[in-house]
């Protein structure tokens, strides 16, 4: 009985530390201030840090955010951007270490509000050499970096995403943590290629979503959403 009680408490504690969202952005190493302030921030803040479970839900786009915030992060093509994930408070456990999965980044023109085949993947880290992207994220205290691609100047939405696969061995078990950040890009001249729709491109049966992280040996893993289409 004592063992069960301890195990139960451990499970509860793990679940309590599981959920995550983005709170800060750095540009070339310089923090841009807290972004999830409403109004006055640059992150489209969700109602909470809970995951999205239904890939067909509109929440798969930018979580439960109510729409645009009032500011943008100013960047140039080629800048290094770092997003910082957190649980409830900065310095908390970022996400439970059982929540293995990829960390990805998409970009879309702000004028689309994320509707249609507009999401272009610009960064993706999944699994290599026995290490998941979420393991790296935890080790790096919630920070994940990517380069701003060469896109035409203007306003964009950047969608950072964690997919937690600890329950991905069953349909509907994967957990999605999308977080949308508003950027104003200067100095670029490139054109975005055609993207994917979110919701629309992900399926509960995709091999990168319906995936058992506990199987031995692990099958080769490819994150959903297709390849990175444009890099910084």
Burial code (b: 16+ CB inside 10 Å, e: under 16) for 161-200 equals bbbbbbebeeeebbbbbbbbbbbbbeebeeebeebbebee
Query: Residues 148, 77: contact at Cβ < 8 Å?
Result: yes
Query: Residues 167, 175: contact at Cβ < 8 Å?
Result: yes
- Give the model's pLDDT for residue 6: 38
Question: Does 14 have pLDDT greater than 50?
Answer: no
Nearest to 65 by CA among 100, 35, 33: 35
Beta-bridge mates of residue 111: none
Beta-bridge mates of residue 120: 107
The residue written with tokens 């091999």 in the block is 207
- Give the model's pLDDT for residue 1: 40
The residue written with tokens 């670029």 in the block is 188
Query: Residues 212, 135: contact at Cβ < 8 Å?
Result: no
Q: What kind and span of H or E run contains 13?
A: helix 2-16
Beta-bridge mates of residue 184: 74, 155
Mean model confidence pLDDT for the chain: 92
pTM: 0.92
- Give the model's pLDDT for residue 91: 81
Q: Would you state the structure tokens that stand for residue 22, as one six-digit string? A: 């983005």
Has domain 21-186 been given CATH number 1.10.3730.10?
Answer: no
pLDDT, average across residues 72-92:
95
d(CA 168, CA 138): 20
Residue ranges per structural domain of the chain: 21-186
Report long-range pairs for 140-144 (Cβ below 8 Å, ≥24 apart).
141/84, 141/94, 142/20, 142/84, 142/85, 142/86, 142/94, 143/26, 143/82, 143/83, 143/84, 143/85, 144/82, 144/83, 144/85, 144/103, 144/105
pLDDT, average across residues 115-120:
98
pLDDT, average across residues 150-169:
98
Q: Which of 2-6, 38-42, 117-121 has the lowest mean pLDDT?
A: 2-6
Q: What kind and span of H or E run contains 231?
A: none
Phi, psi of 14 (to 5 degrees): -65, -45
Could you tell me which residues come within 8 angstroms of residue 161 by beta carbon, excluding any fewer than 6 positions away?
103, 104, 105, 106, 176, 177, 178, 179
């Amino acid at each position: 009985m004592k063992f069960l009680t301890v195990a139960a408490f451990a499970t509860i504690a793990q679940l309590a530390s599981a959920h995550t969202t983005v709170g800060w952005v750095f540009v070339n190493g310089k923090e841009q201030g807290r972004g999830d302030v409403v109004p006055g921030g640059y992150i489209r803040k969700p109602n909470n840090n809970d995951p999205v479970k239904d890939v067909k839900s509109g929440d798969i786009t930018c979580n439960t955010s109510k729409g645009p915030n009032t500011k943008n992060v100013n960047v140039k093509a080629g800048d290094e951007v770092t997003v910082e994930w957190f649980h409830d408070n900065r310095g908390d456990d970022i996400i439970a270490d059982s929540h293995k999965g990829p960390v990805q980044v998409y970009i879309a023109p702000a004028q689309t509000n994320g509707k249609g085949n507009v999401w272009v993947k610009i960064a993706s880290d999944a699994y290599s050499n026995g290490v998941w992207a979420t393991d790296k994220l935890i080790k790096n205290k919630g920070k994940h970096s990517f380069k701003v691609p060469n896109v035409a100047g203007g306003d964009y939405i950047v969608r950072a995403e964690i997919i937690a696969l600890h329950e991905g061995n069953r349909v509907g078990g994967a957990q999605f943590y999308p977080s949308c950040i508003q950027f104003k890009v200067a100095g670029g001249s490139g054109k975005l290629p055609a993207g994917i729709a979110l919701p629309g491109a992900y399926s509960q049966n995709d091999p990168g979503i319906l995936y058992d992280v506990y199987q031995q040996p692990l099958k080769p893993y490819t994150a959903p959403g297709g390849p990175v289409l444009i890099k910084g």
